[in-house]
C-alpha cells in the first residue's frame, strides 16, 4: 500500500461538480492498493497516517502527528500511484491491485482511520475526481507499508 501525504491548509474532492469530501487543516492522503496488500497492511497504514510527525511543534520542528493536532484527514483512492514507470513512456499498472480488491482494502483503510480519528473524509472510489488543495509548506511524503 502506498500513500502520498500532503500537509494541507484545506483540501476538497469534487465529483460532477458536487463536493464529496473536504477538510480544513490536516492531511490529504492519495492512496494506492497494490497486489499482495492485505488487512494487516491497511491497519498499519492507518496507524502511520495518524502518527506520522509532519506538523510543527512549539519550536517549529515537524514533531507532531495528525492525532496530536486533531486536523482533518482526506483519503483519496489513486491507483496510478502503483504504476511501474521504470521503462518506456507509458505506465504499466500491473503492480496495482484488481479493482474489487482495491475497493475492499481502501474501504477497510477508511474504517480503520475513522475508528482512530474523528475527522475523516473521502473521495469517491473509481470516480473522475477533482482534487483541490492548499499544500502547507509544501510538505509531501510517500509512505509505504
Residues involved in catalysis? 78-80
Q: What DSSP assignment string belongs to 33-98?
A: -BTT--HHHHHHHHHHHHH-EEEE-TTSSEEEEHHHHT-EEEEEE-GGGG-B-SSSSS-B-TTBPP
Whether residue 34 contacts residue 82, with contact meaning beta carbons closer than 8 Å, is answered with yes
Preceding peptide of 103 cis, ω within 30°: no
Residue 67 · residue 115 · CB < 8 Å: no
Cβ(127)–Cβ(19) below 8 Å? no
DSSP code of residue 17: T
Judge contact between 11 and 20, C-beta under 8 A.
Answer: no
Amino acid at each position: 500500500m502506498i500513500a502520498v501525504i500532503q500537509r494541507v491548509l484545506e483540501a476538497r474532492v469534487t465529483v460532477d461538480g458536487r463536493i464529496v469530501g473536504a477538510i480544513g487543516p490536516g492531511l490529504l492522503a492519495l492512496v494506492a492498493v497494490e497486489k499482495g496488500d492485505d488487512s494487516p497492511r491497511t491497519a498499519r497504514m492507518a496507524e502511520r497516517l495518524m502518527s506520522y510527525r509532519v506538523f510543527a511543534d512549539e519550536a517549529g520542528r515537524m514533531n507532531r502527528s495528525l492525532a496530536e493536532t486533531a486536523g482533518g484527514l482526506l483519503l483519496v483512492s489513486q491507483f496510478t500511484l502503483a504504476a511501474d514507470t521504470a521503462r518506456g513512456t507509458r505506465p504499466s499498472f500491473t503492480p496495482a491491485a484488481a479493482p474489487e480488491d482495491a475497493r475492499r482494502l481502501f474501504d477497510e483503510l477508511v474504517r480503520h482511520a475513522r475508528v482512530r480519528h474523528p475527522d475523516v473524509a473521502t473521495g469517491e472510489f473509481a470516480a473522475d475526481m477533482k482534487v483541490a488543495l492548499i499544500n502547507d509548506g509544501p510538505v509531501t511524503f510517500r509512505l509505504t507499508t
